Chains A and B, each alone.
Chain A
Amino acid sequence: MTVVFVVAIALLTVAAGCAIYRAERGPSMLDRTIALDVFTTTIVGAIALEAAYSRRATTIPILVVMSLVAFVGSVTVARFAAVEREEEGLIELPPPLGDVDDRAEGSER
């Protein structure tokens, strides 16, 4: 039984490492959001694994909180990234008012 848990922990560790690599490297804000989503899911899996290994139920409420917080985080970042346009990774201010033609061109792309 211990072997199973060691293997599962190893798989989750590799997954978390890959997610952090993508969150660091990811060319855009949205790639980072996805990577951090995967990271959160991995942590939920690790907590579940710990609960299953020790047969304790004290850490289960953390899972409820994590699954909700991950949603709020990714939705907020997606909402925020809708403003970002030209240079990826840079935060750009929205175009000044009256510049309607520029905006129309931008949304066509």
Chain B
Amino acid sequence: MSLDWGGVADVVAAICMLLGAFLAFAAGIGIVRFPDLLARMHAATKPQVLGLILMLVGVALRVHVWSVVGMLVLVVVFQLLTAPVAAHMVGRAGFRTGKVPHEDLVVDDLTADEEAALAEEDAADAAEEDSEAERRASREGD
């Protein structure tokens, strides 16, 4: 009994394609239904890595050329490198522009750090002003 490997590859490719498309669909629904920025970011990352990998595995199984596989691996590597950076930038910008509700956060280290930094800055400013006033007073005393 000989197995038709081309047929098997096609079936696996079809399953991968369907799963990838379903992840993109779920991201679309999530991005419309979720209430705030972080929840939408969470939904949006689903097709960016796993969905993309599934769809590109589907392409590789349908197109039997090695150079194409190389290029698809390149796409996945780019996506794996750039998606976290983009998500980090968007999340940080959202945090700084006040789009993240602080009462929803379980751990909120960044706000504590920012407050500590601001307090330190204020203390440094006050010390500088004090020393300047002292210098001025001593100069006037001469």
Size of the chain B interface, CB-CB below 8 angstroms: 55
Q: CB distance A75 to B37 under 8 Å?
A: no
A63 to B20, CA, bound (A): 15
Bitwise interface map of A from 71 to 82 toward B, beta carbon under 8 Å scored 1, else 0: 100110011011
Main SS at interface, chain A: helix
Q: CB distance A14 to B78 under 8 Å?
A: no
A86 to B31, CA, bound (A): 24
A34 to B45, CA, bound (A): 9
Closest to A3 in B: B14
Inter-chain contacts of B71 with A (CB < 8 A) = 60-61, 63-64
Size of the chain A interface, CB-CB below 8 angstroms: 57
Most A-side CB within 10 Å, residue of B29, B62, B97, B99: B97
B28 contact from A38, A48, A107, Cβ within 8 A: A38
Q: CB distance B21 to A7 under 8 Å?
A: yes
Most A-side CB within 10 Å, residue of B65, B67, B94: B94
Residues on A lying within 8 angstroms of B by beta carbon are 1, 4-5, 7-9, 11-12, 14-19, 21-22, 28, 30-31, 33-35, 37-38, 41-42, 44-45, 48-49, 51-53, 55-57, 60-61, 63-64, 67-68, 70-71, 74-75, 78-79, 81-82, 84-85, 88, 104, 107-109
Residues on B lying within 8 angstroms of A by beta carbon are 10, 13-14, 17-18, 20-22, 24-25, 27-29, 31-32, 37, 40-41, 44, 47-48, 51-52, 55-56, 58-59, 61-63, 65, 67-68, 71-72, 74-75, 78-79, 82-83, 85-86, 89-90, 92-94, 96-99, 114-115, 118
